[in-house]
Amino acid sequence: MKPYVPNYVKARKSGTLAAKIARARKILEKCTLCPRQCKVNRLKGETGVCNTGTKVLVSSFSPHFGEEPFFVGSRGSGTIFFTFCNLGCLFCQNYEISHKGDGRETEPGDIAAMMLALEQAGCHNINLVTPTHVVPWILEALDIAAEQGLSLPLIYNSSGYDSVETLKLLDGVVDIYLPDFKFWESEPARRFCNAPDYPEIAKAAIKEMHAQVGDLKVSPTGTAISGVVLRHLVMPHDLAGTEKVMEFIRDHVSPDMVVNVMSQYRPCYLARRFPDLSRGITTDEFRSAVKIARNMGLTLVT
């Protein structure tokens, strides 16, 4: 079997990556990269919801062993944690990064060097965590890194609050999409993320992601090389709407979708201000969510 050639490598060779970089930079003049549609001129240092102007902040990069098994493999997933976030959940477990701005300023060349260092460390992929608001810099970094030989599958690890327009810009660049589907109903999305449009945005985004890369595919050694994997965090009192989310995935995206039903919710950051978020989930709540996903026929991460 021939080695997998990442999409961004092919895009660079064909010249489409350079065209995508130019288009992405143009969007920053009146920023509509994400569904917030702030329309600020980030090239002049103006900032919107994501608090990011001309400089991208990175919190950390390293081999990570806490991801799904087919991303971790034997040598880890090469994660790059970008600072700030376009969604901003009030219960975020990484609030020091997403809300408080823990990170250092980087240029595309710095991000490219991180990618190459992770490859040199033996990681199985490059895992971009919270990348939505920094897509133009990522594209530039990929151009630099691919020229220097980067050849790992690229994971776009997001909240699911992604615009279809920006995702189309990533078509033929990203190999693996790893979105969340956080809320089925608009009211909890409004209360906890100030994003009442989250459910509709996530539905459209996940459909677009799947249209681009399809269901999960793995290499002969068992590590992921392309496709979509969905994450769904089980919330107290079924605030996430698990059954409706799984039904949507089965009926409108793919019955073969790989889904990670996640149990690690705990009240972090400002969660204790909301009585219905102020506790972790129960064993019964988690088991019920897993049973729902299995009954839908979806493939669960184990």
CA distance 153 to 219: 11
Model pLDDT, residue 13: 97
State yes or no: pLDDT of 25 exceeds 70.
Answer: yes
Q: Report how far residue 76's alpha carbon sits from residue 146's, in angstroms, rounded to the nearest whole number.
A: 20
Tell me: pLDDT of 218 over 90: yes
Average pLDDT over residues 168-187: 98
Q: How many CB atoms lie within 10 A of CB 237?
A: 12
Section 236-247 average pLDDT: 98
How large is the average pLDDT for residues 100-120?
Answer: 97
User: Above pLDDT 70, what percent of the chain?
Assistant: 100
Per CATH, is 7-300 categorized as 3.40.50.20? no
Predicted pLDDT at 103: 97
Q: Would the pLDDT of 1 be above 80?
A: no
At 89 the pLDDT is: 98
Kindly provide the b/e burial profile for residues 114-153, where b requires at least 16 CB atoms within 10 angstroms of the residue's own CB.
bbbebbeeebbbbbbbbbbbbbbbbbbbbbbbbeeebebb
Q: 249-301, pLDDT tens digit by residue?
A: 999 999 999 999 999 999 999 999 999 999 999 999 999 999 999 999 999 99
Q: State residue 53 phi and psi, 5-degree precision.
A: -100, -105
What was the pLDDT predicted at 2? 80
Distance CA 209, CA 162 (A): 10
C-alpha 258/C-alpha 166 separation (Å) is 23
Tokens of 151: 């050849």
**29-59 burial, b if ≥16 CB within 10 A, otherwise e?**
eebbbbbbebebebbeebbbbbbbbeebbbb
Residue 180 confidence (pLDDT) above 90: yes
The average confidence (pLDDT) of the chain is 97
**Mean pLDDT confidence for 171-196:** 98
Average pLDDT over residues 154-170: 98
